[in-house]
Chain A
């Protein structure tokens, strides 16, 4: 105890540094002589800062014919049980309409939905914590837990007491469910129109895994959903789209224009794109494919020809094949130049001049081979493959038996058509096991 403060005192001091917005909202505003001026209505802030700071205090009087006044923060003397101003009441002008603000804490944050980029969820804000810096308030956290809810209902103390009677060490008492403001993206629409205020950089949104981002987008209401989705770049859009459930994809597609949809489809891995297209009516598929770049469209329509649970329907056309005449060095160079955008590259398929499968090799094997070696020398001793019409079950059986993470698919003449990767077959197997689309199961 060198500075003479005990732990409790430190705790109290720390608590004094923070103030809940809900407490401020209940306060009365008095002028320098202690005369009642009005009630706190809202607090405005300047946008653009990472942690917005209180800018103006908006007060209101009257219940049915409410009038409003805005006060610069410098006019606030101190915040205690009431808020005291350093001006006189008659200096304050009230008007029947509140000024237009870009950002208001109550209107845009409290009780509103926000995007929590830390927990990857859409949340409703139960309270806002301000940090007191001199006389000013700086937003620090938003509270999303039950305790904030109870506090605003005025039940925090009785519930705390009840809980501590049952279990003194209950996690409920120890922690507040708060999220730092830097992870929060408010989504409220400004009165001017449907523009979303992006106070965060999109980088934070992009750090969220696409599957979670998709869930979050669908936790928002329709208007915000599209705004958020549109704010993403094309690559993220297609990644998010790929991870949605078929119903969600359909819902989103309805709101996208055709060109946008076509762009997204061409950026999806071919097998995922076919999965999606398969569920659409024929007419709209044809419609969409005309807008997709022609080589890609051709590939997709070929894939669409196979039934979805056969090897042909499961496969992707994203794979690396090299001619049997190539050397290991050629192959490595080829991989470096071609596969930047591929989902994964495990194996390299060796084909003859008619594109018939001759052998399979792996990157690891190539790396250990001498650059001048013929590629066939690095190939696995046995070549495991499946036919276009083989069922998902057979594919899964073979992949498990030979412990490969991808298997090539060939036609009757042994011409290489595509590959099936383990994650594609895994979703099939899970679907069979759960009798449900795997993407509906969260947290697996």
Chain B
């Protein structure tokens, strides 16, 4: 009965593939939104300023990213609730309220980064930020409130294929792959404040605090069942690996072009030069288009996800299917985030690259808070039953918390010393 078995195995494969395709999404989408304006900028700056020397960070980063995202999906699948809901129910209103204030602040800095990405990319096309920002802010608000976001999501996702330009460039520039490989596995460290800042940026942009909330909500919304959980995990792993591969290729491209010829990134135009080997004189347009897509995509998701989570935690009505009178706090928060996010960038002569970089470093400061909440929740037997964290997971995530705090302190201290 050799052939019979073969057929059976085959049909199991197809069935599994089908289940995976139906469960897939949250991990991949979160991963792609992760490569937002702040992400592209931070990776570019890291490559242009430090060559390959920060590449080693991506192996541990990928592991931690997958572990953290996996924890979120697991909590979402097991409890059927969002992270903000769980925080409220476990820690009470007071802690939730202050956690939400930090959360809003952190997401505001990220929203600001998305709008600076929009401004920077439009400036490459020669459009003034005083034109591009109001238009994009209204566009973002309108698309989301009118409930058409779901239909544009696919367009954004498709446009994320533009990142492949970096992968192509990475091969075109013919780097010394042995050097790259060596840099991947040789940890290097420097107490130079800029180095520490960019390191914080890399961590903060790859594992942004808002992603945990977003990931968990998407898993809940998708209604993934416990029995299909292993497929959701695969989704997270694939997403996490894709983010890191693209990040690595952005760094390789920038290191092989900008770093080599001593160009430092001051404006988005400089960053675009990394794509020159691939796109020649069209590199600026290609880069600008990719950046615009990434920024708009994230600018739609971030304020919406923030408003949802905050209202969820504080027990206010939320949702774009509600009327403004029914959910005033929700609409206020959502609108305020967009208005402030776009408004800050209108400030004349603001260094957009710096804004994007700092916002991602700020993520690394806020991340430990989120992780501690997650660790307490996921180890709560009453909540998670048999799906609590393994000891290995706990050790990795606690170590991440400690290292992040240490890194932030180190940066603060060295920056203070350097100033004086």
Contacts and interface: CB of A to CB of B under 8 A. Distances in A.
Interface of A: 110-113, 121, 123-126, 144, 149, 152-154, 191, 221-224, 251, 254-255, 440, 442-443
B323 interface: yes
A153 B315 contact: no
Given A149-B314, A152-B92, A224-B80, 17 more contacts: A111-B96, A112-B89, A113-B85, A121-B317, A124-B88, A149-B93, A152-B94, A153-B94, A221-B79, A221-B80, A221-B81, A222-B220, A254-B223, A255-B223, A440-B321, A442-B322, A443-B326
Q: Which 5 A-B pairs have the closest CB atoms?
A: A124-B315, A222-B80, A223-B80, A221-B80, A221-B81
A251 B27 CA distance: 20
Interface in B58-82: 79-82
B174 interface: no
A126 B93 contact: yes
B382 interface: yes
Interface residues of B, number: 23
Nearest to B93: A152
B80 A111 contact: no
B195 interface: no
Contacts of B94: 152-154
Contacts of A254: 223
B97 interface: yes
Nearest to A124: B315
Contacts of A144: 315
Given A442-B321, A443-B323, A221 B315 contact: no
A191 B380 CA distance: 12
Interface in B80-130: 80-82, 85, 88-89, 92-94, 96-97
Contacts of B89: 111-112
B88 to A, nearest CB: 5
A125 B85 CA distance: 12
Nearest to A148: B93
B315 A126 contact: yes
Contacts of B223: 222, 251, 254-255
Interface of B: 79-82, 85, 88-89, 92-94, 96-97, 147, 220, 223, 314-315, 317, 321-323, 326, 382
B23 to A, nearest CB: 12
Nearest to B382: A191
A84 B199 CA distance: 55
Interface centre among A124, A223, A251 (most CB of B within 10 A): A124
Contacts of A442: 321-323, 326
Contacts of A113: 85, 315
A153 B313 CA distance: 14
A222 B322 CA distance: 19
B323 A111 contact: no
A412 B319 CA distance: 47
Nearest to A225: B80
A251 B314 CA distance: 26
Contacts of A223: 79-80
A245 to B, nearest CB: 8
Nearest to B86: A221
Given A126-B315, A443-B326, A111 B92 contact: yes
Interface centre among B82, B85, B223, B315 (most CB of A within 10 A): B315
A124 B316 CA distance: 8
A154 to B, nearest CB: 8
Contacts of A222: 80, 220, 223
Contacts of A154: 94
Nearest to A127: B93
A123 B315 contact: yes
18 contacts: A110-B92, A111-B88, A111-B96, A113-B315, A121-B317, A124-B88, A125-B315, A149-B93, A149-B97, A152-B94, A153-B94, A154-B94, A221-B80, A221-B220, A223-B79, A251-B223, A440-B147, A442-B322
A442 B147 CA distance: 14
B323 A124 contact: no
Contacts of A124: 88, 314-315
A51 B382 CA distance: 26
B360 to A, nearest CB: 31
Nearest to B223: A222
A152 B93 CA distance: 7
Contacts of B220: 221-222
Contacts of A443: 323, 326
B381 to A, nearest CB: 9
A191 B79 CA distance: 12
Contacts of B382: 191
A119 B94 CA distance: 26
Contacts of B97: 149, 153
Nearest to A251: B223
A124 B317 CA distance: 10
B115 to A, nearest CB: 29
Interface centre among A144, A149, A222, A440 (most CB of B within 10 A): A222
Nearest to B85: A221
A112 B81 CA distance: 12
Nearest to A254: B223
A113 B85 CA distance: 9
A110 B314 CA distance: 12
B103 to A, nearest CB: 16
A221 B83 CA distance: 12
Interface centre among A221, A254, A440, A443 (most CB of B within 10 A): A221
A222 B92 CA distance: 22
A440 B315 CA distance: 22
B322 A111 contact: no
Contacts of A224: 80
A375 B220 CA distance: 59
A110 B89 CA distance: 8
B398 to A, nearest CB: 15
B309 to A, nearest CB: 13
Contacts of B315: 113, 123-126, 144, 149
A111 B93 contact: yes
Contacts of A125: 315
B76 to A, nearest CB: 9
B189 to A, nearest CB: 34
Nearest to A444: B323
Contacts of B96: 111
Nearest to B150: A247
B73 to A, nearest CB: 14
A110 B315 CA distance: 12
Nearest to B321: A440
B323 to A, nearest CB: 6
A149 B310 CA distance: 14
Nearest to B314: A149
A39 to B, nearest CB: 14
B209 to A, nearest CB: 22
A41 B82 CA distance: 25
Interface centre among B92, B93, B97, B147 (most CB of A within 10 A): B93
A141 to B, nearest CB: 16
Contacts of A110: 92
